[in-house]
Every structure is written in C-alpha cells, then in structure tokens.
C-alpha cells in the first residue's frame, strides 16, 4: 500500500462546476497535509495546507481533513480552464520530508 | 528574491558519465531536499538535509550522493549515470517547522542515453 494515494484521473469537469480531489494516507501519525498544483512542465506550487480536522477555505479552494478516516480532499469551486493541472497531495508524517501522492490530473472543459 | 535556483535546466548524459546538479536558496531555510519525478510516480525523495552539515537518505538514494556545501547550497551528484536515472529532478527548501511548506526550484530535466 502506498503511503499517499490519489486517483490519477483525469478528472474532467465543466467550467463553473465544483472539482473534488481526494487523497488517502496510511500513517495515522501524520500531522500536516498539503495540496500542490503543478502545471505541465512546471514545478509544484503550494495551494494550501491543513492540519486540523474539518474544513479550511481560501478563496475558491477548500481543503477538508478527516484524520479518523485518513483522508484529505480539495474542493475547487467555480472551476476555470486555468485550473487544469495536476494536483499533488503531500503528507508530513513527521519522519523526514513530505511524502507525495502521484497526483490527480484535472481537466476543466470550457 | 529568486527563491530556489537550480542549474542546469536540461542535461543529456551518456551511460556512465557523471554530473552534479546545483541548487541554491536565498530564503535562509534550514532544510533542503532533492526529489525526482517520474510519470505516474509522483515526487520521490532522494536525499534531504535538515540543517547545514547533515544529510540523510530518502526513499530512492541509490546511485546518488549529496553535499550540503553551506546553508544556501545543496548539490546532487550522479557518479555513473544510468538510463533509470532519466527523470525530472526538483530541489526544494523549507523552514522545517511543522506545517512549513516546501518551496521548489524550476527543476532539471535529465536524460541518460
């Protein structure tokens, strides 16, 4: 079992819809959770992080964390074609460095 | 403010050749990292340095060596390149406190023939 699992996609949503990206992790001791966006040929850039159970909102983005179920999700409201990218979930298990999932490719159709 | 700077951006090597990937950060971060990214595999940690003078192996260290030259610079060396090392390499830095995010360089695309 991978430490951090994501559906590779592609996840295709129409412009203006809500995109829901999910991530599960195996280490119950994980403390912090990050979502990165990566455009093709570019480096990952941080969208947001969350470390408490519940929801955290930042503009059109909402991160949701459920430690009991070991999943973290990212919702993108009013999706735009410019949101088309690969979204990487990363988990800080406290051991050394962030562990990344393989990413979910999101396609927003105009 | 340049952030994390990696050189070179592209490199083609023949099997058995050696090279060093350079990385420098100007954010005064204590921790620095080298990841590789392969299609469908996500980012995998090669080596990291929690502070100046220390280095530790990550998930995929075989075939690589690193040097934390000073607080700013963290280099990755391939002593004898192999086709399996064809990948995109990212250097990153962080403050290494809880919840501190990684800041990535622009990456080095390496092809080994």
Tell me the pLDDT tens digit for each residue of A45-56.
Answer: 999 999 899 999
Among B40, B44, B99, the residue with its CB nearest the CB of A8 is B40
Q: Is B2 on the interface with A (CB under 8 A)?
A: no
Do A43 and B102 count as a contact with CB atoms less than 8 A apart? no
Among A32, A97, A101, the residue with its CB nearest the CB of B99 is A32
What does the pLDDT read at residue B99?
66
Taking only the tens place, the pLDDT of each residue in B7-17 is 999 999 999 99
Residues of A within 8 A of B105 (CB-CB) are: 43
Taking only the tens place, the pLDDT of each residue in A9-47 is 899 999 999 999 999 999 888 888 999 999 999 999 999
Q: Is A65 on the interface with B (CB under 8 A)?
A: no
Residue B1, judged by CB atoms within 10 A of its CB (0-12, 13-18, 19+), counts as exposed
What does the pLDDT read at residue A96?
65
Distance CA A37, CA A100 (A): 12
What does the pLDDT read at residue B8?
97
Taking only the tens place, the pLDDT of each residue in B48-107 is 998 888 999 999 999 999 999 899 999 999 999 999 999 999 999 998 666 678 899 999
What does the pLDDT read at residue B96?
67
Residues of B within 8 A of A90 (CB-CB) are: 43, 102
Going by C-alpha positions, the residue among B104, B91, B20, B93 that lies closest to residue B50 is B93
Do A102 and B58 count as a contact with CB atoms less than 8 A apart? no
Query: What average pLDDT does range B106-110 have in this prediction?
Result: 96
Name which residue leads in pLDDT, B2 or B21. B21
What does the pLDDT read at residue B97?
66
Distance CA B103, CA B105 (A): 7
Distance CA A46, CA A65 (A): 17
What does the pLDDT read at residue A46?
93
The token duo for B84 is 């399996």
Nearest 10 degrees: CA dihedral of A23, A103, B36, A80? -130
Query: What average pLDDT does range A1-8 have in this prediction?
Result: 85
* pLDDT > 90: percent of chain A: 80
What rounded mean pLDDT belongs to chain A? 93
């Amino acid at each position: 079992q991978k430490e951090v699992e994501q559906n590779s996609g592609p996840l295709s949503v129409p412009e203006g819809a809500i995109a829901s990206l999910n991530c599960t992790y195996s280490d119950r001791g994980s403390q912090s959770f990050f979502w990165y966006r990566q455009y093709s040929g570019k480096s990952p850039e941080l969208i947001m992080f969350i470390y408490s159970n519940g929801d955290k909102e930042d503009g059109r983005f909402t991160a949701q964390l459920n430690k009991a179920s070991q999943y973290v999700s990212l919702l993108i409201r009013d999706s735009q074609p410019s949101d088309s990218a690969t979204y990487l979930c990363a988990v800080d298990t406290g051991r050394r460095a962030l562990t990344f999932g393989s990413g979910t490719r999101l396609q927003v159709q105009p | 403010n340049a952030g994390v700077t990696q050189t070179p951006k592209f490199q083609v090597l023949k099997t058995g050749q050696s090279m060093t990937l350079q990385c420098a950060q100007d954010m005064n971060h204590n921790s620095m990292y080298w990841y590789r990214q392969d299609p469908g595999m996500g980012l995998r940690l090669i080596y990291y340095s929690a502070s100046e003078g220390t280095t530790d192996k990550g998930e995929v260290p075989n075939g690589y060596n690193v040097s934390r030259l000073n607080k700013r610079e963290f280099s990755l060396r391939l002593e004898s390149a192999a086709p399996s090392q064809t990948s995109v390499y990212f250097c990153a830095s962080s403050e290494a406190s809880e919840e501190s995010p990684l800041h990535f360089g622009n990456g080095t695309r390496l092809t080994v023939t």
